[in-house]
Structure 1
Amino acid sequence: MPSLTSNTQMVPFPPLLPGASEPPAVLIATSAYGHEAIATHGHSEVLSWLAAAGADGVEIRRELLPAGFADFTDLGRACADMGLAVVYSAPERLWEADRFAANLDEQLGEAVALGAVALKVPMGHYTGGAQVDWAALRERLAAGPPLLVENDQTHESGTLEPLATCLEDAAAADCPLGMTFDIGNWHWTGTDPLDAARRLGPFVRYLHCKGVVRDDGRLEAGVPGDGELSDWRTLLTHLPAQLPRTAEYPLQGQDLTALTAAQVARLRRL
């Protein structure tokens, strides 16, 4: 497991608090390019696309790193050299019923080695944590980046009540747990994104942007249409101002730098 100290120079991340005067930061999730593109080109070339496209950062996805990958410090340094802030996304859940997932410390160590400004994980199965659990999490987070739980596409950690309960309990215990608000994922659980924004807005620190298309009754991620962007603007009135946002929808085409630049510009105007 990487140490909770790192030589990686962290790229400053724009403010996460309401009222920031700078334009919102726009990142791109490496998953936007798909497994095949990442395997073919590697992260170094992907980072160059993002830098050339004017992105402020990259969301490094743990599931897209090679099996046995351990060079987190070097990858973080490559991101910093490109001027890209890093959010680290790990697919393992934070909660396993009444206890924290066993690999939380490993994820935090990897995030620190990357120089990540935040670690994003699914909430998992939260049934109510004892005060001692929150105290333990506070202690762990003191040496690492902010921890953000995300609404995923499951009913246990992608519906409103469990997420609200977890975040409200954390706040009551003075534990600095924030939220990644994935606009698209709410549709998989039948939750109204606007209702979620109204309830969870005070906890949100990071925005996942994902268009949703229906194909033969199935939902799939897609490039958001103008109508979706209009709906998102209404939703954003219930969230902190100038939230850093990430494109987590497919980016596919001949000129990926130009395509990425166009999407960066669209999300920055939200």
Structure 2
Amino acid sequence: MQSKQLAANLLLFDAEVKKGVKQAELLARAKDLGFSMVEVRREYFQDITAEIPEVKAQATALDLKLFYSVPDELFVAGKVNPKLTGYFEEGQQLGIEKIKFNIGDFANYQGELQRDFAPFLNQGIEVNIENDQTQTSGTLTPILTFLKAAVAADVDIRYVYDLGNWPFVGEDFLAGAKALAVYTRYIHVKDVTEKEGQPFVQPLDEGHIDWRQALAVLPKDVPVALEYPTDNDALIKAGLQKLLAL
């Protein structure tokens, strides 16, 4: 990879989070493993009001760039999600560079994108949507429909390509990469295998996805995050080395 912008999505430390470890406590571990960027997850906060300043202070001390994963939608019942204002306030308090959502119910949206998103797009935070594991927000057609509309309206919302979510919606990861490369500003990598007939997220090279093939057609100058749960730092280091070797 030309950029070597490598991020740790804190899903990597899911086992620690389930034991009660706070996200602020995981930042030093990510730094020690070799990451310069960390994506914190909103659902991992135990007491968000208390923890946001802790995460910000720790990230500043460690010179880590922060991204913010919010498991909510831009559009709810055909309207802009009223919770967005609060999410962006959290982002400002964290000092994030990127924030990520899912699309949601854009199909029934009748508003003006430029007007409705103006309050959010002048805050110095890059805004992206991701393909998730739902038909509404994770399949190629609605993602392309929204992104084309955003470009047409001169609204600076683009895309996080999540490699491992395509099998969950029954679509081809490479077709998604080729169609969405032009919109992609951030990439999540993981592998996927089958477990009891269902997709199951795995570390790189432990599943059936040719992640190198996907990265070959995606932009080379955007951050790439490892995003899979593991309680093994050696697997994280191995994934990091595989990305560095590209």
**Which residue of the other structure, out of 11, 14, 19, is the alignment partner of 1:31?**
11
Match in the other structure for 1:170: 150
Q: Is the 8 A contact 1:135 1:175 kept in 2?
A: no
Partner of 2:130: 150
**Match among 178, 199, 208 for residue 198 of structure 1:** 178
Change (3 A) 1:173 1:129: farther
Gaps of 5+ in 1: 1-20
Higher mean alpha-carbon deviation, 122-131 vs 48-57, is at: 122-131
The secondary structure found in structure 2 opposite 1:49 is helix
TM-score, scaled to structure 1 = 0.84
In structure 2, the partner of 1:265 is: 241
* Partner Cα distance (1:246, 1:203) in 2: 17
* 2: CA distance, partners of 1:219 / 1:126: 27
1:212 aligns with 2:188: no
SS of corresponding position for 1:94: strand
**Equivalent residue letter for 1:239:** L
The answer to which structure, 1 or 2, has the higher relative contact order (CA under 8 A, 6+ apart) is 1
Report whether the alignment pairs 1:57 with 2:33.
no
Q: How many correspondences in the alignment?
A: 246
Cα distance in 2 for residues equivalent to 1:108 and 1:44: 19
**1:129 positional shift:** 4.2
CA RMSD, Structure 1 to Structure 2 (Å): 2.1
In the superposition, relative to structure 1, how do residues 71 and 120 fare at CA in structure 2: closer, same or farther (>3 Å)? same
Deviation at 1:251, TM superposition (A): 2.1
Question: C-alpha displacement at 1:44, in angstroms?
Answer: 3.5
1:211·1:224 contact (CA, 8 Å) conserved in 2?
yes
Conserved 8 A contact 2:98-2:127: yes
| Aligned-partner SS, 1:93 | strand
Local SS of the residue matching 1:141: coil
Q: Does 1:83 align with 2:59?
A: no
Instruction: Tell me if the contact between 2:31 and 2:62 (Cα under 8 Å) persists in the aligned partners.
Output: yes
Identity of aligned residues (%): 29
The residue aligned with 1:127 is: 107
Give the deviation of 1:68 after TM superposition: 4.8
Contact 1:55/1:261 (CA < 8 Å) preserved in 2? no
Structure 2 residue corresponding to 1:223, chosen from 199, 203, 206: 203
CA–CA distance in 2 between the matches of 1:75 and 1:45?
8
1:267 shift after superposition: 2.1
**Structure 2 stretches lacking a partner, 5+ long:** none
* Gap change, CA 1:132 and 1:112, over 3 Å in 2: same
After superposition, give the CA deviation of every residue in 1:236-262 in whole Å (9 maximum; x if it has no partner).
Answer: 233222321111112213xx3x44333
The TM-score with structure 2 as length reference comes to 0.91
Equivalent of 1:161 in 141, 152, 159 = 141
Farther-moved stretch of structure 1 (125-134 vs 148-157):
125-134
C-alpha deviations, 1:124-176, integer Å up to 9, x for none? 12216446233220332112401110000000000000000000000000000
